[in-house]
Amino acid sequence: MNITKLSGVLGMITLMAGTALAHHSFTAEFDVNKPVKLTGKVTEMKFSNPHSWIYLDVETNGKIVNWALETGAANALIRRGWKKTDLPAGTVLHVDGWQARNGTATANVSSVTFPDGKRLFAGSSNESAPQQ
Amino acid sequence: MFTWSTKALFALSAVVLSAQQIKLPRTADGKPNLQGIWQVRGKAAADLQGKGIVEGGEIPYQPWAITKKRENFTNRLAADPLGKCYLPGVPRIMYMEYPFQIFQTPEHVAITFEWSQVYRLIYTNGKPAPHEGIDSWMGDSRGRWEGDTLVVEVKAQNDKTWFDMAGDFHSDAMNVTERYRMVDPDTIQYEATIQDPKVFTKSWKISIPMTRQKNMSRLLEYQCQAEAEEANGAFERDPRTWYPKPGSPPSPLGKPAVMPPSGPLPEVKTGTNLRRTADGKPDLTGYYQSNAGGANYGLEQRRSELRLTPSTRGVIIDPPDRTLPYQPWARAERINREEPYRGYDDPTAHCFVAGVPRSMYVPSPVQILQPPGYVVMLFERMSWRIVPLDGRAHIPDNIRLWQGDSVGHWEGDTLVVDTTNMNGKTWLNEVGDVVSHAEHIVERFIPTADGKITYRATVTDPIAYTKPWTIEIPLNRANDELLEVACHEDNGDLQHLKDVRDEYRAQQKKEK
């Protein structure tokens, strides 16, 4: 899958995914006062319910930290034709989101930017993101 | 003058004849009617390689796999996936010692299990799976009738389940062929042929009788994970909403309110030219998604100030001011539940069952089935509701369930479902709209056109509210199939929510 198609799919899934398939309170887990901007390489896309996770190696001050980024449920991705293999390891992503309140390298994704510069929403409950 | 062999032949033909003469219950389309509550008793759940279950006695493991099986056996107490309440997979779910209920329509066989409200939906309509290449814990089941035998092919299971408590295992290459053959009205002979070239040297077969549970009229619930978390303290009792335990102190809230009757509701007309079942009722069968306008984030209308919680349309149609008629304590509790440290207390964050009416508007689909005598609802978030239509009474008051006890009847073309026996453990949504064990729900499924249902639920709860209230949500049929949500198998969020809660509690302790 090329990046354009990939970003299209990611865009579609993410518009509804996080919000629509949430099973827990986002405000309880993530902190709107801790926005994060991350750039890194995908190490794994974990296809799971109730949320899928993108793992991203992010370099900060010469140290690599593997971030866990929460997005929509696998079932929502599957219904849009998404496959496990569609986000291969090594893909570079820029991610905006909100960090978990517990301070770990975990975030809820609000948008993803691909190397081609295209910016897309991704799986958050941000009310400015279109909802189902 | 009979020789021994002619005698034997005579005896044999007599046996065959009597088998043919056993009258099996049959469905309207002539298939053996498997509907009913069944259970396997015996040693299979503990060890398949016990007496007389595996044909030939032993599972034909490849040499490496024998070693692996021995390791599993040694570590079984910690390593058995069932110990973590993970979905058991097929065939294991079929011979665990819990009852299950079979429902049959011309296009489906559904099996609902008492164990953790798991279900299997077996499609017998000849259609292939619409979503390919997905592994799941329970696999994809497609069935067909070969004469009087239901044959089910189960594919695409993951490699995380076991066959039994003894560590017998398989890989993700396993295919299972099940055969359900009713040998008399109270016995199904169940066979499963296991093929897995990664683990076994050849295919192998198990054969187990399933027995009709004539004394059971209803499945109850064994919620594996919820019971474990209640026992180990991870999920805490709320004495205000939970059904009191025998001998527990009286509710801190005093007496429940005296409730006025529900107000009059605007009339909704049922559709004309509705698709109908053989008995003339509207045919509600199908895969539905609710257009809930964010009811899972609040039943009242709300423009969200918080960027992480969506705004809500508001689904209350009574009282006319469209707000919930809370008692003061319950309104205060509702507001408190939005504090981040309370996020951990929402049962669905633990992947527990959503309850009634929340199951109908969580943003996840539901499959409705109409087998003879019932309406069955299967929720993608792995739980079921069974609604008998035979006019029976509710179960005894002291039996309390996550999904309650539902009974139904038709009023014209509207399906009316009455639910009591709730346990008071559920929240109505993620922001924590409150409901207690005193909740009594009357739901109306009003088919306004083919594939369109106006869903209404009137909730009467004298512990949390001053009067009844009603929500209305459209349910829309779509052309799709349920997938699996194995929720707590992969619930990374709960630890984060617990961290937030624990930090708050530690802070409170310090301040004291």
Subunit contact B308:A124, Cβ cutoff 8 A: yes
Give the tens place of pLDDT for each residue, B220-246. 999 999 999 999 999 999 999 999 988
Question: Can you read off the two tokens belonging to residue B173?
Answer: 């290459």
- What average pLDDT score do residues B151-171 get? 97
Min Cα–Cα distance to chain A from B34, Å: 31
- The yes-or-no verdict on residue B340 having pLDDT over 50 is yes
Class of domain B28-212: mainly beta
Give the tens place of pLDDT for each residue, B68-91. 999 999 999 999 999 999 999 999
Across the A:B interface, residue pairs with CB atoms under 8 Å apart total 124
- Per-window interface: B 30-89 vs A, CB < 8 A: none
Question: Can you read off the two tokens belonging to residue B178?
Answer: 């099940």
Task: Please check whether residue B486 is in contact with residue A47, taking contact to mean a CB–CB distance below 8 angstroms.
Answer: no
Query: Average pLDDT, whole number, for chain B?
Result: 93
Strands A63-70 and A106-113: parallel
Rounded Cα–Cα distance for residues B307 and A126 (Å): 5
- What average pLDDT score do residues B44-69 get? 94
Q: Which residue has the tokens 């044999």?
A: B12
Residues in B closer than 8 angstroms to A74, CB to CB, are 134, 483
pLDDT value, residue B83: 96
pLDDT value, residue A119: 58
The amino acid that residue B125 corresponds to is: N
Q: Which of B351, B491, B499 sits opposite A102 (nearest CB)?
A: B499
The amino acid that residue A92 corresponds to is: V
Residues in A closer than 8 angstroms to B480, CB to CB, are 79
> What is the pTM for the complete model shown?
0.91
Closest CA to A28 of B429, B376, B236: B429
Question: Can you read off the two tokens belonging to residue B29?
Answer: 């389309």
Residues of chain A with pLDDT under 70: 1-22, 118-132
Give the residue extent of every domain in chain B: 28-212, 224-486
Subunit contact A104:B346, Cβ cutoff 8 A: no
Reduce the DSSP state of residue A37 to 3 states and report it: strand
Q: Which helix (H) or strand (E) holds B230?
A: helix B224-232
Q: Which of B304, B306, B493 sits opposite A24 (nearest CB)?
A: B493
Helix, strand, coil shares of chain A as percentages rounded to 5? 25, 40, 35
Task: Please check whether residue A81 is in contact with residue A75, taking contact to mean a CB–CB distance below 8 angstroms.
Answer: no
Q: Kindly provide the ipTM of the predicted complex, given to two decimals.
A: 0.79
Q: Which domains does chain A show, CATH number per domain?
A: 3-121 (2.40.50.140)
- What average pLDDT score do residues B502-510 get? 95
pLDDT value, residue A81: 72
Helix, strand, coil shares of chain B as percentages rounded to 5? 20, 30, 50
- What average pLDDT score do residues B35-55 get? 93
The amino acid that residue A86 corresponds to is: D
Cα R_g (chain B), whole angstroms = 25
Alpha carbon separation from B450 to B127, B272, B387 (Å, rounded): 22, 9, 21
Mutation for testing the A interface, residue in B308, B487, B488 having most A CBs under 10 Å: B308
pLDDT value, residue B160: 97
The amino acid that residue A4 corresponds to is: T
pLDDT value, residue A132: 30
* Predicted confidence band of residue B193 (pLDDT cuts 50, 70, 90): very high
Reduce the DSSP state of residue B73 to 3 states and report it: helix
- Strand ranges for B213-343 from DSSP E: 286-290, 316-318
pLDDT value, residue B307: 61
**pLDDT above 90 covers what percent of chain B?**
86
- The yes-or-no verdict on residue B187 having pLDDT over 70 is yes
- Sign, Cα dihedral of B63, B64, B70, B72: negative
Subunit contact B304:A83, Cβ cutoff 8 A: no
Residues in A closer than 8 angstroms to B492, CB to CB, are 51, 53, 68, 70
Taking chain B, what is the end-to-end CA distance rounded to the nearest angstrom? 100
Residues of chain A contacting B, Cβ within 8 Å: 19-30, 32, 46, 48-51, 53, 68, 70, 73-75, 78-79, 83, 98, 100-102, 104, 106, 108, 124-128, 131-132
The amino acid that residue B121 corresponds to is: L
Give the tens place of pLDDT for each residue, B392-425. 999 999 999 999 999 999 999 999 999 999 999 9
Subunit contact B492:A51, Cβ cutoff 8 A: yes
